[in-house]
Chain A
Amino acid sequence: MGNSKMSSDELNKVFEKAINNIDETKSSLTSIKEDLDKKLLITKHENDYINWRLQNIENGYVKQNTMLLLCNYPGSYDQYGNIVYPKTLSKPINLFNLNAHNDKVYFRPDAQLKVNSMSSESYTSVLKSDSIKTDIFFEEFKSPTITLEVSMDTSNVLGTTNMNVIEIDPYLPGSFDIDSIILYYYDENSIMSKNIISSVSAVGKERIVLDKKYKFVKVIFNITVNYISTNNDNVVYPFGLKHLYFYDSDFNSSSEVIVPITSKSTITRISNDIIIKDVFGSKATTILEQGIKIYSDKELTQEVEPSYPNLINPITKITSTLYAKIPVSLPIVAIQFFVFNN
Chain B
Amino acid sequence: MYRMILYNFRYRGPFEYEKFVLNTMQLYNESTNIINHEFDKGSDINKTLQYYIDNVNSIYNNTVNTSEELYLKLLNYERC
Contacts and interface: CB of A to CB of B under 8 A. Distances in A.
Interface of A: 5-6, 8-9, 11-15, 17-19, 21-22, 24-25, 28, 32, 36, 39-40, 42-43, 46-47, 49-50, 53-54, 57, 60-64, 67-69, 81-82, 171-174, 204-205, 242, 277, 333-334
19 contacts: A5-B17, A6-B21, A8-B5, A14-B25, A15-B28, A17-B32, A28-B39, A36-B52, A39-B56, A39-B60, A40-B60, A42-B63, A50-B67, A61-B77, A81-B68, A173-B67, A204-B68, A205-B71, A334-B76
B80 A50 contact: no
A334 B75 contact: yes
B66 interface: yes
B75 A50 contact: no
B2 A9 contact: yes
A64 B35 contact: no
B70 A61 contact: no
Nearest to A61: B77
A60 B2 contact: no
A42 B67 CA distance: 11
A21 B28 CA distance: 8
A171 B41 CA distance: 32
A53 B76 contact: no
A67 B64 contact: no
Interface residues of B, number: 38
Contacts of B71: 53, 173-174, 204-205
A63 B34 contact: no
Given A28-B39, A53-B70, A82-B72, 4 more contacts: A11-B21, A12-B2, A43-B64, A49-B67
B64 A42 contact: yes
Interface string B35-75: 10001000000000100110011011001101110111011
A205 B68 contact: yes
B64 A171 contact: yes
Given A32-B53, A39-B56, A42-B64, A174 B74 contact: yes
Nearest to B29: A18
Contacts of B80: 60-62
Contact of A47 (B25, B30, B63): B63
B62 to A, nearest CB: 9
Contacts of A28: 39
Given A12-B5, A50-B70, A21 B34 contact: yes
Interface in B6-43: 17, 21, 24-25, 27-28, 30-32, 34-35, 39
Contact of A43 (B25, B31, B63): B63
Contacts of B67: 46, 49-50, 171-173
Nearest to A203: B71
Contacts of A43: 59-60, 63-64
Interface centre among B35, B49, B76, B80, by most chain A C-beta atoms within 10 angstroms, is B76
A242 B60 CA distance: 13
B78 A61 contact: yes
A46 B70 CA distance: 11
Contacts of B4: 8
Contact of A57 (B27, B31, B57, B77): B77
Contacts of A82: 72, 75
